Amino acid sequence: INGGKDTITVPSPYKLEEVVFQGVSSFFNSTCKDDSGVIPLAFVATKDDSIYVSFRGTANFTDAISDIAAIQVQYNFVPTTGQVSGGFQGAYTGTDTFPIESAILSKVDELAMTGSFKNLYITGHSLGAALAFLAFPDFSQNVSNIDNVVMYNFAGPAAGDSAWVTTYEGEYA
């Protein structure tokens, strides 16, 4: 992520559809080497009949704040009975300038509406795994024309309380 905007590539035959950027201060974040104030947080790629959403893990000071801001808040994206980490939800939501959830959801929905895609895979590592946990019920409920939504995560922290996990497992798993 040291190169800012041009750092995401995917191997053939995958096609990179969208890179979603997080706004950060280059003063506090050594990963913002090109001084553009943005670094990639996620990308959307396609291959055959599948869409892939991948979130990166903790990489800078801004991410570390998201990791430790564990105060529980109501999950905003689909009705549930539980709460999630405010730091993770804030990172997943993004900002007015860099809206993470809406940018990814918009691109995935646009791709799904073509009717060419049957599967949606969501993945992440560390902070990215927490963001994938939040994305899974959101995409499961808010993306149409997809037959299967599957999540694979690596080294994910606890993203929500036990009530959210129960809802998440019962409704969306």
User: Tens of pLDDT along 93-133?
Assistant: 998 888 999 999 999 999 999 989 999 999 999 999 999 99
Burial class (CB in 10 A: 0-12, 13-18, 19+), 44: buried
pLDDT for 32 beyond 50: no
Give the pLDDT score at 1.
46
The per-residue pLDDT for range 44-96, each reduced to its tens digit, is: 999 999 999 999 998 877 888 888 988 999 999 988 778 999 999 999 999 88
Give the pLDDT score at 108.
97
pLDDT for 35 beyond 70: no
Number of H helices, E strands in the chain: 5, 7
Mean pLDDT for the stretch of residues 19-27: 72
pLDDT for 28 beyond 80: no
Mean pLDDT for the stretch of residues 27-42: 62
Residue pair 153/123 in contact by the 8 Å Cβ criterion? yes
Give the pLDDT score at 25.
58
Per-residue pLDDT band at 24 (split at 50, 70, 90) = low
Token pair listed for 56: 């990166």
pLDDT for 2 beyond 70: no
